[in-house]
Structure 1
Amino acid sequence: MPESPEAQFDLAVIGSGGGAFAAAIRATNLGKSVVLIERGTVGGTCVNTGCVPSKALLAAANARHVALDSDRFPGVSMDAGPVDMQELVSGKRSLVEGLRAEKYVDLIADYGWELRRGNAVFAGTPEDPVLELTGTDGNRATVRAGHYLVATGSSPWAPPIEGLQGVDYLTSTTAMELNEVPESLIVLGGGYVAVEQAQLFARLGSKVTMLVRSRLASGEEPEASKALLGVFADEGITVLRRATVESVRTEPGGDVLVRAMSVGGRDEYTASRLLVATGRRPVTDGLNLATVGVRTGDRGEILVNDMLASSNERIWAAGDVTGHPEFVYVAASHGSLAVENAFNDAGRTVDYSHLPRVIFTTPNLAAVGMTDKQTNEAGIDCECRVLPLKHVPRALVNRDTRGFIKIVAETDTGRIRGITAVADNAGEIAAAGVYIVSAGMTVDQVANLWSPYLTMAEGIKIAAQTFHTDVSRLSCCAS
């Protein structure tokens, strides 16, 4: 194959997702030359196979569910027919293609970056790393840069289950490309992808069974798991906890059979399709990182310090590939932070103490800051209050009081350390919570702030009031 001459850039970025683009934008604003290298589709996970398409389908499924659940309002009754999955997926693709063009592809030309299509691997030495690029056209080139950023993201991971490789199972990526709604679906996993996809397909018409090793959303407050269990039970989703999958096989008729052990003993479960949503793993295979002195962890993640530098001072990492929290806004923050540290020696560090987390079920599960368990593990003396949504006027008006708002606060000072909510639009509660937690506000301060009546966020104020007041004895808008 022909080989091109070496190229020289200030920054070479492997990947083209949120972290990569944030880094490229910041570097360009600093007057640096940038090359992006992408072997797949420009835009990364979020716009192509993650946040955007999944939330678009969840919104559609929620619209159908609202129609079917309309009789909770007296005098209102609607119905919803079967879903045209091909049309739904086609609409999702159009949305994705539009956003990819507007927010990613067009920006490359606007900023004047060079985009190289192909597969990049590190070569050279730790002291003089380079990238060897094999283009999609078969041509080879050597890319040399002052600094390198690895922003290759993560991909769905499947555990080593007997028979799984012989089954045509779905992942969070392939599930969003189905041409029809499965009659029945088994979901392996209980994390954010699993619960979102389980509710999505249940609301589209599938009979859904979840096999969960511990509990739903096990990293969040136990009250959140309990609330989601209740919601899922209302919607006909079967959740089997403490379940260990032993084997999987395809039956003669095409159904998938899963054998699992749970608290009730060993049992078998069948469905027309199987979705494996047991987590993701960083994409680092084949990058040849060891050659240039970049260390990786047990899951393949690039080990970085709190300034996002790898064990090679010229190679940085951002986003899911670091093994850090898997949110696109984390990746974007990583990208700009790494560039500031690489070119300005800014010494900026990553701080997750007020990181918001949202699971887009309906109602949402959202949180910011520390959980009750995390404060205990950190040796912080805290007390908690859990406010049922029956005390939040917005929930009463919505005719849906499933859920709660929980505040974790330091016992001595009243400083709020964490807020968790399961509620309609709980993501907005978490957004407000970011400012509360980052500012070190106390429950007394929040309890006495202005808050607009008949908003779900008003529940934060009411939850803060529960530390000193019996809110069941307040009028509907008493401050």
Structure 2
Amino acid sequence: MWETEGVKRVEGVAEGRCPVRRWQTPRRSSSRSIAVSPSSETFDAIVIGAGQAGPALAERMSQAGWRVAVVERSRVGGTCVNTGCIPTKAMVASAHAAWVVREAARWGIRPPERFGVDLPAVVARKDRISGQSRRNVEQWLRGMANVELVMGHARFIDPHTITVGERRLRADRFFLNVGGRPAQPGVEGLDAVPWLTNASIMALQELPRHLVVVGGSYIGLEFAQMFRRFGSAVTVVQRGPRLVPREDADVAEALRAILEQEGLTIRTGAECVKLAPSGEGVAVQVNCQTGEPEVHGSHVLIATGRRPNTDDLGLDLAGVRLDERGHVVVDDRLRSSVPHIWALGDCNGRGAFTHTAWNDFEITAANLFDGADRGVGDRVVTYALYTDPPLARIGLSEREVRASGRAALIGTRPMTRVGRAIEKGETEGFIKLLVDADSKAILGATVLGVDGDEAVQSLLDVIASGRPYTEVTAGGVRIHPTVSELLPTVLQALKPLPPATDPG
């Protein structure tokens, strides 16, 4: 769930994941006022972490004439480029190709007589794509004027000084863009068995005979469907009563049906998950109310959440306050408890996606250089789960609308009544739109279906601005056949939101 592309330097413009952006001429920084030790190197700003937000912010500072150090302990590009969206979506694409070949008869095509998945080739393709993206980001950084890329582990020794190896670097301002890593809350037995993370599973050279995925949310479900399509038996073990607990019940149920139709086994209500060796594999204690109490797999993927990379930076010596989960506590302008230290991306707990990290950069750059007063609180929730079909969401869920107590309208349409889905032979899922009954503003949009991640974004600007849904229904003529052409149709058939039937 972390989208980006490789980035390259083209005439001073960041080009790649995001549309080309040309910056206005920024103002120069104010004079430095910190005391400098003779043994320290001094910068106007230091960016710690070269993920999604860091390089773009460094370029903006470079254009302002600032002297900048970008410190990266491992590989530039961050989670998205190295272990997140780029490599996972490359493998999702390979899995989709395998599914199309296997299911070719549904489109009137005879599948090849010899069919198989070459996992080493899939991994090599993923590595080529991810590696090129990483090289592009590094080349971009190294080509910036006034910017030095420093490889090593940064640690604060006081609020204005970090060490990186033998070097001491000082600055007026610091920007943390250190990302996160997999977490394993409450999973017993991890020290007794081999287990996979979202990174290590993408290095496998042989298909698991039976992959057990512990965690039925976004990361876990993408890998579960992926490896099922590659040919592994797959069981998903979810602690709660349903998958993707953040979503509405109808979304979770529809997604479960899609996955089970492809042959995945879903075990929900697993309140006591424990791992233990079992022959040449792993036994996963499930303890559900129904079904076998244990699942025996050849491999186990732990996909139970992520934690920020803030525990070994010496942030206590800088006076930076963390919350109970280790996120840097920031205000609406992304400043930490220390006014000259900002936190962007996954480490601030204000968004766990590549696109929210990019927006953190936009907010920070606009406030620093454009005289703006932007805040993260203005951001509309947007994200996608890249199962196939994808689940795309903007704004409030139905559950959140009900909890708000406001009068609302709802419109739905199954994908079986969307021409584009019918023609592509992929009719699973539905569209659901929610509108404020008084203001007529669109409160939320959900599309679980083919091309939904693209189609739903045609509503984003209207939702973000709070404009009435009638601007969508009275707008221009949309292209047929597409999924997005049905969004005005759904809005034209709005009905009062009925009483809840599901307490969750």
Q: Same fold (TM over 0.5)?
A: yes
Match of 2:79 among 42, 45, 61: 45
Secondary structure, counterpart of 1:245 in structure 2: coil
Say whether the 8 Å CA contact 1:353–1:370 is kept in structure 2: no
Describe the superposition over 1:142-169 as per-residue Cα deviations: whole angstroms up to 9, x where unpaired. 1111100111000011123221222110
- For structure 2, list consecutive stretches of 5 or more residues without a partner in the other structure: 1-36, 497-504
Distance of 1:266 and 1:23 partners within structure 2: 52
Distance 1:378 1:406 in 2: 18
Aligned partner letter, 1:99: S
Partner of 2:199: 173
Alignment match, 1:67 = 101
Tell me which residue corresponds to 1:237. Answer: 264
The 5 Å alignment of 1:384-463 reads 384-449=410-475, 450-463=477-490
* Corresponding position of 1:133: 164
Mind listing any 5+ residue stretches in structure 1 that lack a counterpart? 135-139, 470-479
Aligned-pair distance for 1:338? 2.4
2:62 to 10, 19, 28: 28
Q: Which whole-Å CA distance do the structure 2 matches of 1:97 and 1:7 have between them?
A: 31
CA contact (8 A) 2:71 2:150 kept: yes
212 and 468 in structure 1: CA distance in 2 versus 1, 3 angstrom threshold: closer
Assess if the C-alpha contact under 8 Å between 1:34 and 1:114 holds in 2: yes
CA distance in structure 1 between the aligned counterparts of 2:286 and 2:418, rounded to whole angstroms: 41
CA distance in 1, matches of 2:300, 2:104: 30
Instruction: Using the TM superposition, give the Cα deviation of residue 230 of structure 1 relative to its aligned residue in structure 2, in angstroms.
Output: 1.3
1:108 aligns with 2:141: yes
Which residue matches 2:387?
361
* Equivalences for residues 174-253 of structure 1 within 5 A: 174-214=200-240, 215-251=242-278, 253=279
Out of 311-320 and 93-102, give the one that drifted further. 93-102
In 1, Cα distance between the equivalents of 2:174 and 2:81?
A: 23
Once residues 92 and 4 of structure 1 are traced to their aligned partners in structure 2, the CA distance between those partners, rounded to angstroms, is: 46
Whether contact under 8 Å (1:4, 1:142) holds in the other structure is no
d(CA) in 2 for partners of 1:346 and 1:440? 21
Query: Matched residues in 2 for 1:57 and 1:400: separation?
Result: 20
Checking the alignment, whether the CA contact within 8 Å between 2:409 and 2:494 is kept in structure 1 is: no
1:353-373 deviations in Å (ceiling 9; x for gaps)? 433211111101001111112
Aligned to 1:472: none
Q: Tell me: CA distance 1:468–1:374, structure 2 relative to 1, closer, same or farther (3 Å).
A: closer
Aligned residue in 2 for 1:477: none
CA contact (8 A) 2:410 2:495 kept: no
Partner Cα distance (1:403, 1:212) in 2? 21
State the SS of the aligned residue for 2:273: strand
With over 3 angstroms needed to count, the CA separation of the structure-2 counterparts of 1:462 and 1:207, relative to structure 1, is same
Closer/same/farther in 2, CA of residues 289 and 18 from structure 1, 3 Å limit? same
Task: Indicate conservation of the 8 Å contact 1:21/1:335, yes or no.
Answer: no
Q: C-alpha displacement at 1:265, in angstroms? A: 7.0
Displacement of 1:330 after TM fit?
1.1
Deviations 1:392-434 (A, max 9, x none): 1111212222110000111123221110011111111222121
Residue 4 of structure 1 and its aligned partner are, at CA, apart by 9.1
> Residues of 2 paired with 1:66 and 1:246: CA distance?
34
TM-superposed deviation, 1:343: 5.9
Contact 1:39-1:117 within 8 A present in 2 as well: yes
Number of residue pairs the alignment of both structures matches: 456
Q: Is the 1:23–1:332 Cα contact (8 Å) retained in structure 2? A: no
Deviation at 1:290, TM superposition (A): 1.4
Tell me the percent identity.
Answer: 32
2:360 counterpart of 1:327: no
| C-alpha separation in 1, matches of 2:65 and 2:104 | 56
Secondary structure, in 3 states, of the residue corresponding to 2:280? coil
Counterparts of 1:446 and 1:341, CA distance in 2? 32
Deviates more, 1:106-115 or 1:189-198: 106-115
Is it true that 1:290 corresponds to 2:321 in the alignment? Answer: no
Aligned partners of 2:414 and 2:430 also within 8 Å: yes
**Does 456-465 or 298-307 show the bigger shift?**
456-465
Q: Which secondary structure state, in structure 1, belongs to the residue aligned with residue 287 of structure 2?
A: strand
Q: 1:350 aligns with which of 364, 376, 390?
A: 376
| Alignment partner, residue 17 of structure 1 | 51
- Map 1:270-309; keep pairs closer than 5 Å: 270-309=296-335
Maintained 8 Å contact 1:26/1:336: no
Deviation per residue, 1:260-287 (Å, 9 max, x gap): 1223277010011000001111000111
CA–CA distance in structure 2, aligned partners of residues 389 and 332 of structure 1: 32
The 1:333/1:236 distance shift into structure 2, 3 A limit, reads: same
Cα distance in 2 for partners of 1:263, 1:445 equals 49
In structure 2, the partner of 1:142 is 168
Q: Which amino acid aligns with 1:381?
A: A
State whether residues 317 and 338 of structure 1, in contact with CA within 8 Å, keep that contact through their aligned partners in structure 2.
Answer: no
The AA in structure 2 aligned to 1:284 is T
- Give a deviation string over 1:95-143, Cα, whole Å, max 9, x none: 11111112x111112213101111111112x4xx211221xxxxx1111
Deviation at 1:340, TM superposition (A): 4.0
